Amino acid sequence: MLNKKDFPILEFDNNRYAKIEPSNVIKKIDVPEFCVIAFFGDVIQKMLENNRLRQIGTFVTCSVSLPIYETEYDNKKIGIVAGFLGAAGSAGQLEELIAMGFKKFIVCGAAGVLQKDIQVGHLVVPYSAVRDEGLSYHYLEPSREVECDPEAIDIIEKQLNKENIPYIKAKTWTTDAFYRETEDKIKLRVSEGCVTVEMEAAALFAVSKFRAVKLGQILSGGDDLSGVEWDSRKWQSRDEIRRNLVELSMKVCLSL
């Protein structure tokens, strides 16, 4: 029996089996070993229009369904799917992708920056995430941070260095509430070493550890939260940055 805590989020259960196991409700299908989860739906749509994708499955929720595609990169098959916003949704998506048969993942997307000198599009490789969300506490014992797979980080760095692509390896802040990123919270996270803020990393790192699959992440500098006022920096209009990051992610994923 679990001991009741003051805060339910701290009532971690180390039982490996849940009432609803993904492997019991999701059918295993013929999928590649590798998969890119891209938080750039427009890039995936463009790939579809250019006949680069073949649908092999669907991530179904009560409000939205996200097609799971297969494509080829460097004559190798690789899966690609649009990411689901937020810790809970992205973790559920990762669980189902693993149950389908995918084993190695690169996640790419944009993140808010907490340092003004990080330009739009500059790449950040998170090695750790502050767990300011709820999902990860159901997969790992309570702790302040969760680390990314060091082998995945090493492979990402080798590829970036090989191509002379500048990047920052740093800590990220995962939050459930982007409308509650207050001035004091931002200052605290910066003091802890966070350079970005997003909504999925801690959850994805936790699930990948729990399920023993390879997963790394590459973030692209987006809006700026470092100043007195929020600055969108029109990051959503930077089409080439997003396309290049997806292509890079496929290349890295195949090296995992």
73: β partners = 76
Percent residues over pLDDT 70 in the chain: 93
Please answer whether residues 58 and 68 qualify as being in contact, where contact means their C-beta atoms are separated by less than 8 angstroms.
yes
pLDDT, mean over the chain: 92
pLDDT tens column, 181-229: 999 999 999 999 999 999 999 999 999 999 999 999 999 985 555 554 5
How does 63-88 read in b/e, with b if 16+ C-beta sit within 10 Å?
eeebebbbbebeeeebbbbbbbebbb
Position 118 scores a pLDDT of 80
Position 238 scores a pLDDT of 60
pLDDT > 80? residue 153: yes
Position 224 scores a pLDDT of 57
Position 228 scores a pLDDT of 46
First to last CA, the chain: 39
Position 1 scores a pLDDT of 81
Cα 206 from Cα 204, distance rounded (Å): 5
pTM of the model: 0.94
Cα 102 from Cα 29, distance rounded (Å): 9
Q: Which range in 56-65, 107-116, 223-232 is most confidently predicted, on average pLDDT?
A: 56-65
Position 53 scores a pLDDT of 98
Q: Which of 81, 163, 83, 172 is nearest to 125 (CA)?
A: 172
The SS3 call for residue 172 is strand
54: β partners = 70
Query: Rg for the chain (alpha carbons), in Å?
Result: 18
> CA of 247: how far to CAs of 111, 134, 136, 168, in Å?
18, 31, 29, 19
